[in-house]
Amino acid sequence: MEILVCVKWVPDTAENEIEVNRDGSDIERDDLVYSVNEWDNYAVEEAIQICDKVGGNVTVVTVGDEETEEVLRREMAMGADNGLLLHDDAFDGSDGRGIATVLKAAVQKGQYDLILTGAQADDGAAQVGGMLAAMLDYPYASLVNKIEVDGDTLKVGREIEGGNQEMNAIAMPCVLSIQTGINEPRYVGIRGIRKVASVEIPQQGVDTLGIDAAMVGAIGARVKRLDYFVPDLGEGAEMLEGSNEEIIAKLIELLKAKGGLK
Amino acid sequence: MADIYVYITHKNGVADDSALELLAAAHKIDASAAVTAIVTGSGADLDKVADALAASYPKVLKFNQVALAYPNAEVVRKLLVNILPANAVVLVPHDTFGMDLSPGLSIKLDSTFVADVVDIEALDGSDLKLIRQEYAGMVSTHISADIAKGAVINVRPGSFAPDESQSASGSVEDKSVDDSDLKVQRTFLEVVEAEMGDVDITKSDVLVSIGRGIEDEENIEIADDLAEALGAVVSCSRPIVDAKWLEKSRQVGTSGKTVKPKVYIACGISGSFQHMGGIKGSPFIVAINKNIKAPIFQVADVGIEADILDFLPEMTEAIKAM
Ligand SMILES: Cc1cc2nc3c(=O)[nH]c(=O)nc-3n(C[C@H](O)[C@H](O)[C@H](O)COP(=O)(O)OP(=O)(O)OC[C@H]3O[C@@H](n4cnc5c(N)ncnc54)[C@H](O)[C@@H]3O)c2cc1C
């Protein structure tokens, strides 16, 4: 099976305090720690496990630049066979539809049976997989937490409200967005990353992909981010101050009053 | 202004809470808009939902079809593409169904998609200004969406106060489409219910809930100890379950359990909307987090800026010494 996994290099919210820069035009990017989008690691792990079972190749693709190319190396260190960087200045400022347009062109240059994305990334939009499927006229399932291969069909579980699982049969080729928890992504050590550090990663841009530049980038975007801000949501929590001892004494009184301690 | 449509999700003959939240959102786009509800399904439950919606929506379009008995987003998308007029604005809840349906719907309608909207500011010509959040809710953004060709807007559940004015005595229109127009390549098979697990966190008055801030499986012990001292039960956020450190049945949130304790002690939890969506009944929320900017401090009653790895054992000792 030929599997394409779409991945993204994102500021790591577990490692950074994300702050708005001075004029609100962006987040503060100095000293940001980046990592593979959490959901994408599960998608790549799943792709590798499927190919281990039924044979095939895993290609990882990202729309980015020389810096974000690192995400491809991380995933190749995990075990993906090939990387593909879609890079062009014309892609800058793309909205979700723009990114999906670029990916669609890349899919059509290849021969993929299965396309995976993470369920969502740093902007929490959860949109690229579903858009890509619609553009390709492929069936789609989101929030997938189980995949079983059955010939040309996949049996997939979708995570729905309450932790219940919606089982579907879906025909290939198809696009699936992968939810966390579907597997346990393997750990990649420094050695694995070194091994792929100098692998040549092919690049494609507007011309090689045959994309109309007016459909992507800031020009093609119908959705634009105007600024970043931190909303003023009123008072928020009453912060308990003092030494730990004092805080705990106050907290115990509060818990008694609220029925948290008898 | 184009027509506004709202897709209604429902279960057991009752519309989801989002039904009236989306109506409020629609009126924030255009206060004078006549908003149409679309409801799909089959049988008596569907009739019940549609009739109830007519008290709030001036027009309800009801699609009663066997192929729609289970809301398979692939089928619903096909239906909507067939029946919606050009340039329609469609509101959908940003839940596991809306995430499945909407991005592809916007492509098929050649309209603009905006995901997980938490507020709507103004419509100026075809420029709609909305508010979203990014980076797990740590920052917000103003969004400008060009809706000249229509839009599909996914609205975060719980972010608009429901419009309960019940002002409409609306009409319910029975609609039908050819089943052959609803053929898709994804077949719904069944829903597998979540497993029960060893403890029922929904039964406990007090929850000591741990998130990624617990850092290591071995550290869960300190939460167990505190829970024991308090006579509480340990629950958790999703990453703890993804890491297989605790059972799924202990997960609080939209894709986990809905809990209604008296006291909820959130330890090293950032406060994502999917997590908070599982906490109902306005409990007294205590948040312990080492990052003063963590979003959970905006929704908690009491906050403590501390490292839980130090703080929880100290608290346990203090309670034991009482
Ligand atoms: C469709 C969907 C459904 C989802 N359903 C759920 C759900 O049901 N339940 C759920 O919980 N999530 C759910 N999520 C995931 C959700 O979006 C968040 O990713 C998740 O809730 C984050 O968990 P967390 O707060 O534990 O981790 P993080 O967001 O990483 O937060 C960890 C927090 O711990 C703090 N911290 C770190 N170390 C320490 C320390 N030593 N002491 C004190 N504080 C510390 C940090 O400052 C941070 O605020 C869902 C996501 C999707 C896409």
The helix (run of H) or strand (run of E) holding residue B312 is: helix B308-320
Where does residue B322 rank: exposed (0-12), middle (13-18), buried (19+ CB within 10 A)? exposed
Domain final position from B155, B182, B209 = B182
- Pick from A108, A110, A122: nearest CA to A40: A122
Same domain? For B140 and B207 the reply is no
Q: Are residues B154 and B207 in the same domain?
A: no
Chain B, residues 53-92, CB within 8 A of chain A, namely: 72-74
Q: Does B61 lie in the same domain as B107?
A: yes
The complex scores an ipTM of 0.96
Using alpha carbons, select from A192, A237, A39 the residue that is nearest to residue A124. A39
Please tell me whether residue B201 adopts helix, strand or coil conformation.
helix
* Below-50 pLDDT ranges, chain A: none
C-alpha span between A128 and A120 (Å, rounded): 8
Say if the Cβ atoms of A124 and B263 lie within 8 Å: no
Do B194 and A167 lie within an 8 Å CB cutoff?
Answer: no
Same domain, yes or no: B251 and B171: no
CATH number, position B105: 3.40.50.620
Looking at residue B95, the DSSP 8-state letter turns out to be: S
Tell which of B123, B153, B182 closes a domain. B182
The pLDDT assigned to B197 comes to: 87
Mean pLDDT to the nearest integer, B156-184: 91
Interface test with B, best of A114, A248, A256 (most B CBs within 10 A): A248
Residues B126 and B240 in one domain: no
Residue B189 lies inside a defined structural domain of this protein: no
More confident site: A8 or B164: A8
Domain that holds residue B114: 4-182
Mark yes or no for CB contact B189/A155 under 8 Å: yes
Whole-number percent of chain B with pLDDT over 90: 93
CA distance A211 to A148: 34
Among A43, A35, A10, A36, which Cα is nearest to A118's?
A43
Using the structure block, give the residue that is written with the tokens 């994309």: A211
Distance CA A206, CA B185 (A): 31
| Cβ–Cβ below 8 Å for B263 and A255 | yes
In a domain, B206, yes or no: yes
Query: Which residues approach ligand 1 with their CB closer than 6 A?
Result: A 14, 119-120, 143; B 96, 136, 211-213, 215, 237-239, 251-256, 268-270, 272, 274-275, 278, 289-291, 294, 307-309
Residue that is written with structure tokens 């347009």 in the block: A101
Would A79 be classed as within a structural domain? yes
**Candidates B99, B133, B220, B238: which one to mutate for ligand 1, based on the most atoms within 8 Å of Cβ?**
B238
Least CA distance to A177: which residue of chain B?
A: B100
Q: Is A239 part of any domain?
A: no
For ligand 1, the distance from its centroid to the CA atom of residue B78, given in whole angstroms, is 35
Does residue A13 lie in a domain region? yes
* DSSP letter, residue A215: G
Together in a domain, B143 and B240: no
| Spatial contact of B7 and B35, defined as CB atoms under 8 Å apart | no
Under 8 Å CB-to-CB from B194, ≥6 apart: which residues?
A: A162, A163, A164, A165, B248, B249
Judge whether B249 lies within some domain.
yes
Q: Which of B123, B150, B182 is a domain's end point?
A: B182
**What's the token pair of residue B283?**
């409990």
Asked if residue B195 belongs to a domain, the reply is no
Q: Is residue B196 part of a domain?
A: no
* Phi, psi dihedral angles at A211 (to 5 degrees): -105, 140
Residue B191 in domain: no
Q: Which atom of ligand 1 is nearest to the CA of B311?
A: 42
Judge if B227 and B157 occupy the same domain. Answer: no
Tokens encoding B190: 């069944």
Question: What's the domain count of chain A?
Answer: 1
Q: Which domain holds residue A199?
A: 2-220
Task: Return d(Cα B77, Cα B72) in angstroms, integer.
Answer: 9
pLDDT of residue B61 exceeding 70, the answer is yes
- Kindly report, residue by residue over B217-264, the tens digit of the pLDDT: 999 999 999 999 999 999 999 999 999 999 999 999 999 999 999 999
Q: Which residue, by CA, sits nearest to atom 49 of ligand 1?
A: B270
Is residue A194 in some structural domain? yes
Residue B192, in any domain of the structure: no
Residues B262, B150, single domain; the answer is no
Does residue B220 share a domain with residue B172? no
pLDDT at residue A15, rounded to an integer: 84
Residue B194 placed within a domain? no
CA of B270 to the centre of ligand 1 (A): 5
Of B192, B311, B315, the CB nearest to A167: B192
Residues 99 through 118 of chain B touching chain A, CB cutoff 8 Å? 99-108, 112-116
Sheet with B59-64, strands from edge to edge, namely B112-117, B151-155, B89-93, B4-8, B35-41, B59-64, B171-175
Contact B185 A174 (CB under 8 A): yes
Residues in chain A: 262
- Bridge partners, A115 (sequence order): A4, A175
Q: Is residue A236 part of a domain?
A: no
CB interface of A with B, residues 52-81, below 8 Å: none
Of A164, A168, A254, the CB nearest to B302: A254
Task: Give a three-class secondary structure readout of B15-62.
Answer: ECCHHHHHHHHHHHHCCCCCEEEEEEECHHHHHHHHHHHCCCCCEEEE
Looking at the structure, do residues B83 and B171 belong to the same domain, yes or no? yes
Residue A45's domain is classified under what CATH number? 3.40.50.620
Q: Name the domain count of chain B.
A: 2
Q: How confident is the model at residue B1 (pLDDT cuts 50, 70, 90)?
A: low
Residue A251 lies in a domain: no
pLDDT at A235: 78
Shared-domain flag, residues B12 and B39: yes
Residues of B (5-64) whose Cβ lies below 8 Å from A? none
Tokens 């008290």 appear where?
B55
The Cα–Cα gap between A3 and A155 comes to: 16
pLDDT (mean) for B191-215: 95
| Whether residue B171 is found in the same domain as residue B310 | no
Return the ligand 1 atom nearest residue B251 CA: 9
- In which band, very low, low, confident or very high, does the pLDDT at B176 lie, cut at 50, 70 and 90? confident
Tell me whether residue A10 is in a domain.
yes
